[in-house]
Structure 1
Amino acid sequence: MPVRFDAVHDCFHDLLASGRETGAALAIDVDGEPAVRLTGGARKGTDPWRADTLVAVYSVGKPVVALCLLTLVDRGRVDLDEQVAAYWPGFRTPATVRQVLTHTAGLPAFPVPRPPEAVADWDLLCADLAAADPEWEPGSVAAEHAWTYGHLVGELVRRVDGRPVGRFLAEEIAGPWRLDLGYGLGEADQLRCADLRYGDPEWPRLVAGAPGSLRFRAVDNPAGGRDLSVLNSPLWRGTEVPAVNLHATADAVARLYTGLLAGGTLDGVRLFGADLVTEATRVQYDGDDLLLDRRTRWTLGMQWEPDGSWGMGGLGGSSAWADPECGYTFAYTTAHLADHDRVDELVEALHSCL
């Protein structure tokens, strides 16, 4: 790592030394080139975190599943302003593809309570969504579609293309761009996974919201999404839950954003047109988000920040984005489920270097 980024290195290792981090990776590209690659702590037990360690990154995966659908938009197979029902017959909610991608479709929670094992039943959960009435008029307001986003977007991919979204991602994006990430891992890749752990024993309760609230309904159904016995199981790792269970290395996520920042081309391989990237990363909704309970600017799958950066953070502290003004991409993947203050400090250190 260049001496220029010593402050980032020191901050990362201070987090580990203090116990505020117990297992993580950090990847930063600057001006399209790798600048920082750090790993530290344990993957599982005393097994050290390695460069190829995969970890579940919660909502950091939402832009990834969005890109699968946007690939079909770029190829002219999907119209952003067409009704979902045009591609998914029987879909009840009168939402457009664009509204699904911007969390304004009105389906922020699965409507039928389901147990943990239901995560493996794609058809059941999609049928629940297809039959549901929206909680408000589509397009009128946003609420992050915490769990439902991946099934809404992923089923659109499957209906149009025929492949499950995990296979589509592997063959159309991860493979060509050599990205070590995926949904529905096989046995060999599951062996590389880090075990998630609570940085605070109260974390599952703190992130769920008040029982009965919109946030609680959205993150607690199907059950088990904050339960370590589920999250670290073959069921979770081997199943496609695209909104929340992308398993990835930090390097892969940083490189993905580097390709987008370059207009859709990475290492000479063009996957997206520059116009598609421009449309996908501009603000599509600016207003209240009823689940996040704050003003949010949604692009087609990402959050846009006032400094012009765009990306997504996940429950537990993983986060990734691109900063066009400063010319860098950033990815932090962690197994230590806690707040995002670790990322805040790493970014402060990075900006001191830039």
Structure 2
Amino acid sequence: MIEGTAAPGFGQVRDAFEIVAVREPGLEAQLAVYKDGRQVVDLWTGLSGDSLLALFSSGKGAVHLVVAMLVQDAVLELDRRVGDYWPELGVDITLRELLTHRAGLIGVDGGFTSEELADDRLLAERLADQAPYWKPGTAYGYHAFVLGALVGEVVRRATGQSIQELYRERVREPYGLDFFLGLPLELESRYLPVLPAIEQQPLPDPHSLTGIAFNTPTDLVELANTRAVRALGPSSAGSVGNARGLARMYAAAISEVDDRPPLLRPETLGEFTKPHSAGVDLVTGEQDHFLLGFEAQAVRYPRLGRDSFGHSGAVGAQAFADPRRGIAYSYTRRRFLAGGGGGAPENVDLVAAVLDA
């Protein structure tokens, strides 16, 4: 049932992955782990190891990595007002507050069209004049479909390039990553359409903060399986890739990979892995949800280092780096889970097996 390899000492991770596959017949999933810049786990079941999948909000991890690099280069300043970069934005907040989902701009009145959800520039245009859904800076809530567009517009104003372009030039191409914000047409044959959950959950009230943030009644399966979304790579919810690509991205962030130094210096890691969101997320209900941009992984997996950072994706995908242990981890799956994202429950056992190894 399980294909791929696990390095000596990581056999128990393969065993844990096989248990997951037995527990969910028909599972199509991938698992990849790096230790100190070297891949030690490369496993898959029900598909190929190089199959490309819709990974939704996993792309926010790439967004935050690019932003961290720009802060490291002194191109962006975390405590500068966003209006200094983007004067047309009607909300007065700092870049730090924007990164930590405190802008209150979780959606727009009347919702977004499918065309807008596919294109970060169109999203940013709609959001510029939108009144926030709470007083900016006073609370936080997951900006599910729009954070990448908001941050991306700041990046475009500061650099003249999109998040997608910078990620491709500075991260994806140098490291040969199978993780994309904009899937080239020639790779479409490797894409496996996302499958709906076997058990459907009721949609949130479209007038609730959750419903506004997730643009209810948007069909995420239909959205991801649209070529325009994959081509444009909206950075909040349009990423495509596999476990190998995501794990390698996080490995490159913290470790030497292919004789290249880590993308993030210790002081940058220290800044971006500080807790920034104490209390309850107004959209998801999660507790202490975010570091600086990245999701706080130790909240979900308490055995991880407190500075572990990463991001989940709506199909139950999970990816992160634990800098203290030198671990980069990614689990991806093809079929939606009932109940949506946040990292599929099987990640608990898989992460535990990795840490035990």
What TM-score comes out, normalization by structure 2 length?
Answer: 0.88
State the SS of the aligned residue for 1:257: helix
Per-residue deviation, residues 24-59 of structure 1 (Å, max 9, x unmatched): 110011233211100111xxxxxxx22322212122
2:273 is aligned to 281
Q: Residues 135-174 of structure 1: matches in 2 within 5 Å?
A: 135-174=133-172
Work out whether 1:248 is the aligned partner of 2:241: yes
Structure 1, unmatched stretches of 5+, are 42-48
Amino acid at match of 1:14: I
Amino acid at match of 2:114: P
1:130 is aligned to 128
1:269 is aligned to 260
Contact 1:110/1:125 (CA < 8 Å) preserved in 2?
Answer: no
Aligned counterpart for 2:208 among listed residues 203, 210, 213: 213
Contact 2:121/2:153 (CA < 8 Å) preserved in 1?
Answer: no
- Number of residue pairs the alignment of both structures matches: 339
Amino acid at match of 1:83: R
- Distance (Å, rounded) in 1 between the aligned partners of 2:195 and 2:231: 19
Kindly tell me: are residues 216 and 21 of structure 1, through their superposed partners in 2, closer, same or farther at Cα, counting changes over 3 Å? Answer: farther
State the SS of the aligned residue for 1:337: coil
Per-residue deviation, residues 184-214 of structure 1 (Å, max 9, x unmatched): 21211222112111232405x3xx4334211
1:292 is aligned to 284
Per-residue deviation, residues 61-92 of structure 1 (Å, max 9, x unmatched): 21211222222222112111111111112111
Using the TM superposition, give the Cα deviation of residue 177 of structure 1 relative to its aligned residue in structure 2, in angstroms. 2.6
Q: Residues 87-102 of structure 1: matches in 2 within 5 Å?
A: 87-102=85-100
Kindly tell me: are residues 332 and 212 of structure 1, through their superposed partners in 2, closer, same or farther at Cα, counting changes over 3 Å? Answer: same
Per-residue deviation, residues 223-255 of structure 1 (Å, max 9, x unmatched): 6442x3332121221122111111122112112
State the SS of the aligned residue for 2:330: strand
Using the TM superposition, give the Cα deviation of residue 178 of structure 1 relative to its aligned residue in structure 2, in angstroms. 2.5
Contact 1:177/1:269 (CA < 8 Å) preserved in 2?
Answer: no
1:77 is aligned to 75
Work out whether 1:32 is the aligned partner of 2:24: no
1:45 is aligned to none
Structure 2, unmatched stretches of 5+, are 1-5, 339-343
Using the TM superposition, give the Cα deviation of residue 327 of structure 1 relative to its aligned residue in structure 2, in angstroms. 3.7
Contact 1:55/1:334 (CA < 8 Å) preserved in 2?
Answer: yes
Aligned counterpart for 1:229 among listed residues 203, 214, 222: 222
Using the TM superposition, give the Cα deviation of residue 21 of structure 1 relative to its aligned residue in structure 2, in angstroms. 5.2
| Identity in percent | 29
Amino acid at match of 2:212: R
1:315 is aligned to 314
- Distance (Å, rounded) in 1 between the aligned partners of 2:233 and 2:198: 27
Aligned counterpart for 1:107 among listed residues 98, 105, 108: 105
Contact 2:103/2:137 (CA < 8 Å) preserved in 1?
Answer: yes
Contact 2:179/2:245 (CA < 8 Å) preserved in 1?
Answer: yes
Per-residue deviation, residues 70-120 of structure 1 (Å, max 9, x unmatched): 222221121111111111121110011111111111112234422222224
- Distance (Å, rounded) in 2 between the aligned partners of 1:10 and 1:302: 30
Amino acid at match of 1:342: E
Amino acid at match of 1:36: V
Amino acid at match of 2:234: V
Kindly tell me: are residues 31 and 140 of structure 1, through their superposed partners in 2, closer, same or farther at Cα, counting changes over 3 Å? Answer: same
2:346 is aligned to 342
State the SS of the aligned residue for 2:278: strand
State the SS of the aligned residue for 1:38: strand
Using the TM superposition, give the Cα deviation of residue 347 of structure 1 relative to its aligned residue in structure 2, in angstroms. 2.0
The structure with the greater share of residues assigned to strand is 1
Kindly tell me: are residues 300 and 33 of structure 1, through their superposed partners in 2, closer, same or farther at Cα, counting changes over 3 Å? Answer: same
Contact 2:243/2:330 (CA < 8 Å) preserved in 1?
Answer: yes
1:44 is aligned to none
Per-residue deviation, residues 130-157 of structure 1 (Å, max 9, x unmatched): 1112222222111011111010011112
Contact 2:120/2:152 (CA < 8 Å) preserved in 1?
Answer: no
Using the TM superposition, give the Cα deviation of residue 328 of structure 1 relative to its aligned residue in structure 2, in angstroms. 1.9
Using the TM superposition, give the Cα deviation of residue 325 of structure 1 relative to its aligned residue in structure 2, in angstroms. 4.4
2:28 is aligned to 23
Using the TM superposition, give the Cα deviation of residue 285 of structure 1 relative to its aligned residue in structure 2, in angstroms. 2.4
- Distance (Å, rounded) in 2 between the aligned partners of 1:111 and 1:235: 24
Using the TM superposition, give the Cα deviation of residue 11 of structure 1 relative to its aligned residue in structure 2, in angstroms. 2.6
Q: CA RMSD in A?
A: 2.1
